[in-house]
Structure 1
Amino acid sequence: MLVVLSVLWLALAPVAQAGQVYRWTDADGITHYGDQPPRKADAEVSTIPVYVEPTAIARMRIEPVGDRYHVWADNRLPGPIEVMLDFTRHNNTVGNPMLPARATVAADGSALVAVLRAREPAQPVSFELRMDSLPGNPSAAPQDVQYQLPLQLAALPGSGPRIDQGYGGRFSHRDPENRYAVDFATPIGTPVLAARDGVVMQVESGFDRTGLDRDKYGGRANFVRILHDDGAMTLYAHLKPGGVLVRVGQRVRGGQQIGLSGNTGFTTGPHLHFVVQVNRGMRLVSLPFRMGGPVGPLRIVDESPTPL
């Protein structure tokens, strides 16, 4: 049996590698480099920015087993993901289950997505595959909880947080992924806080560009994504270059500082983009949320002219 195969995988929400390198000199005069700052507070630390393209959140793996091909998805995140496998080209090849096929992959785990075989055993087989991946468990059932303000009040100008764009904002909150997002206007460098306990699922900190070209910058910005125990995920976006202060897999508490606000990606000015999201079957959707403010519940205006 002649076999020709190739693979293509696409991460809809990539994982970024370290965006900066730390350099410091110890008491003996020896210079050190690392992707985390030293624990000793008396060390003089400088940073070296490094621009690194994000990598896929999942890896596709094909294992020949007899006359069949087992297609696996390996999850690189410390939280669940969903993948969808499909042919981009195939000849005399069928899958079990039939493609496109979906699978949920546990944190740092692997899942068998499909088994491929020849439709006619005596004929040549060839195929190309594509695997899309998305963070979150599609079966998640988020609870109705009150989130904490994701910015340090003492660092905000005036009397408290100012919302530049609320639910359904015309500029960038009209798609399901951001329908219930909130943009907090804040100076660059404002401490960003976790709005709830959770595990850091994704980060990007090495992006240093901004602009109003949606095609060029719409999918890129420095961010932190936190997974919560009920499967909901909070996203803190447009952080400054090098403004991520946590690492993937780290457990954080509500109110803990996780980053510094900035102005990266598709944006008109410095702000923090905050949104609660859940995976609903290979698509991220945003959820309305309750949030505590400095003098009671935060009032979020729905700017949509008509319900979406």
Structure 2
Amino acid sequence: MRLQCLLLILLLPLSTTGFAKKLYKYQDKQGRWYFSDKAPVTEQPVEVRQLKPVRKQRVWLEKTGSANSPGFLIINQYPGPIEVAVDWRDHHNLSATPQLPHRFVVEPGRSDNLFTITADDQAAESRFTLEYRYVVGRPLPDYASRVHYLPPLAPGRRFQVSQGFGGEFSHHDPQNQYAVDIMMPVGTPVHAARAGIVLEVEDDFYASGMQQAFASKANSIWILHEDGSMAVYAHLALEKAQVQPGLQVKAGELIAYSGNTGFSSGPHLHFAVQVNRGMRLESVPFQFMGANRLLFEPRQGDWLEGLTCGLDVKCN
């Protein structure tokens, strides 16, 4: 039997981390030009240019086993679980165990063998192409928030909600329906609204605009909570993240500085709580704690004030 295979990865709904790079252009004392991706040690004037981020792949479908009966596993480099959907793109004279299409929940690291492919007729030629896509987070189809969130601000700082749940400008799709936008100047400290583990950090984008091309180019931080939900903090400043994937953070801890990157009409912080529902990320309603220690659903025009965790402020 001759078995031919091709693996394909489809577009995933959570972007992967890029590596920030700068190009340094300078002259030496003799007038010779130099170009480097590392900051030079020189007294001469240096021209710095920000380069586009280079994407890093974090999930692989890997082939194992024998050539006649290959198995497949997933390598997950996220510090949290993912859900992976695997299906045939094309196949002939083959069967999979378990049958495809199939969804798998994969913890961080290298999974056990997930499925095996065998020929229906060992004497005939076989071929197949696989495709897979994934979503960060385990599936939570019936999730409802039962905890409160701190306003993602430094203690004592006050800023106003410019767009609340279901906002007409940009909060009308499932990922953003229950998001809030908080007006604040570039460089404002952003603090964790709830404790969790940092899943992903985008720190390399430097531009903004109202064209659709900017929709996936906002600096952001994703934090996984103990109940499986994830908070996203978006439109952050270039190279100002104070955390990295895998780091455990406490509620109220400084994680970044606000910016104006991605699909944005002006400086603000975009905050949402999302869960994996049906292999796609969807936002869910949540409540902030107010300065009066009462819980409330944020609405356009509300003022948020940063709080300090303590005896009268319980931090999740």
TM-score class normalised by the smaller sequence: 0.7 to 0.9
Secondary structure, counterpart of 2:239 in structure 1: strand
* Residue number in structure 1 paired with 2:7: 7
Q: Distance in 1 between matches of 2:113 and 2:231?
A: 28
Counterpart in the other structure of 2:305: none
Gaps of 5+ in 2: 23-36, 39-47, 302-316
Q: Give the RMSD, CA atoms, in angstroms.
A: 2.5
What whole-Å deviation, never above 9, does each CA across 1:165-195 have from its counterpart, x for those lacking one?
Answer: 1111122211111110111111111101001
Q: In 1, are the aligned partners of 2:19 and 2:55 still within 8 Å (CA)? A: no
- CA change 1:256–1:270 in 2 (3 A) is same
- Deviations along 1:42-61, one digit per CA (max 9) or x if unpaired, are xxxxx995643232331110
Correspondence for 2:113: 112
Of residues 237-246 and 116-125 in structure 1, the stretch that sits farther from structure 2 once superposed is 116-125
Identity %: 36
Aligned to 2:219: 222
Cα contact 1:263–1:269 (8 A) shared by 2? yes
Kept in 2: contact 1:105–1:111 (CA 8 A): no
Cross-structure match for 2:91: 90
Q: 2:168, 2:216 → 1: CA distance?
A: 17
| Structure with higher strand content | 1
> Deviation digits for residues 77-135 of structure 1, max 9, x if unmatched?
11111001112222222222222211000123424332112222221111111110111
Q: In the TM superposition, what are the counterparts of 1:1-308 in structure 2 within 5 Å?
A: 1-10=1-10, 11-19=12-20, 51-65=52-66, 67-139=68-140, 143-154=145-156, 156=157, 160-214=158-212, 216-296=213-293, 297-301=295-299
Q: How many angstroms apart in 2 are the aligned matches of 1:20 and 1:195?
A: 30
Q: Displaced runs of 4+ in structure 1, greater than 4 A? A: 47-50, 139-143
Q: Distance in 1 between matches of 2:3 and 2:21?
A: 43
Report the alpha carbon displacement of residue 209 of structure 1 after superposing the two structures with TM. Answer: 2.1
- With 111-120 and 174-183 compared, the bigger mean Cα shift is at 111-120
Which stretches in structure 1 are left out of the alignment for 5+ residues?
22-32, 35-46, 304-308
Larger radius of gyration: 2
Q: Deviations over 1:10-57 (max 9, x none)?
A: 333133144368xxxxxxxxxxx99xxxxxxxxxxxx99564323233
- Asked if the contact 1:64–1:70 (Cα under 8 Å) also holds between the matched residues in 2, the reply is yes
Output the CA distance in 1 between the equivalents of 2:160 and 2:225: 26
> Do the aligned residues in 1 keep the contact of 2:13 with 2:281 (CA within 8 Å)?
no
